Chains A and B, each alone.
Chain A
């Protein structure tokens, strides 16, 4: 089956620094990827839709200047949390849409746990 990877699986950074999270589709091309955020014991919330070759679409309430998304190729999207603060600590999950399936399937990465100290 289709595989989506995320790197790193966990990261600790100091307040004020930036951290980049990668999402890769390993065996299929993905023009669209999605970024979700999950706080402890809560549900997943869609943050943004990442489109290859164009600007990301952010959900209402998500600061686009804080969460920079770049989808530079058909297999890679990156989420950069800029000037991270403790309240940005969360579990970030990406998913990727497989163009080759009808209706399209969406596969999830294993997630990245971000802790800001």
Chain B
């Protein structure tokens, strides 16, 4: 079974700063997908970024980018030019490539607070 670990329960930065959220995972699979989801107070899960394990290039989506280190099983999220609207819970998640029937395994989450 796979596990996902987020070791930062809470982080706080000033608006416009850059912040990095950490995530490590453990799996015996060679191909899989990793995700960062944002959960604002509304509790709607919002996909931030996705990384496919067979792709060496780190995924980027506007101000969001990841540092994917497959050998180290590390998948960190960097948020540049942070905005007040980035305040939310952030969950790192893992999904295997088992034919599409895999649900997500989530980390415990990091509560990110952007201070004005």
Contact = CB atoms under 8 A, between A and B. Distances in A.
B45 interface: yes
Interface residues of B, dominant DSSP: loop
Interface size class, chain A? 20 to 34
A46 interface: yes
Most chain A Cβ neighbours within 10 Å, of B42, B91, B103, B106: B103
B91 A106 contact: no
Contacts of A34: 103-104
A11 interface: no
B101 A110 contact: no
Nearest to B42: A110
Given A97-B100, A110-B42, A110-B44, A46 B108 contact: no
Interface of B: 33, 42-45, 52, 91, 95, 97, 100-101, 103-109
26 contacts: A34-B104, A38-B43, A42-B109, A43-B108, A44-B45, A44-B91, A44-B104, A44-B106, A45-B106, A46-B104, A49-B101, A49-B103, A51-B101, A57-B101, A91-B43, A93-B43, A93-B45, A95-B104, A103-B33, A106-B95, A108-B44, A110-B42, A110-B43, A110-B44, A111-B43, A111-B44
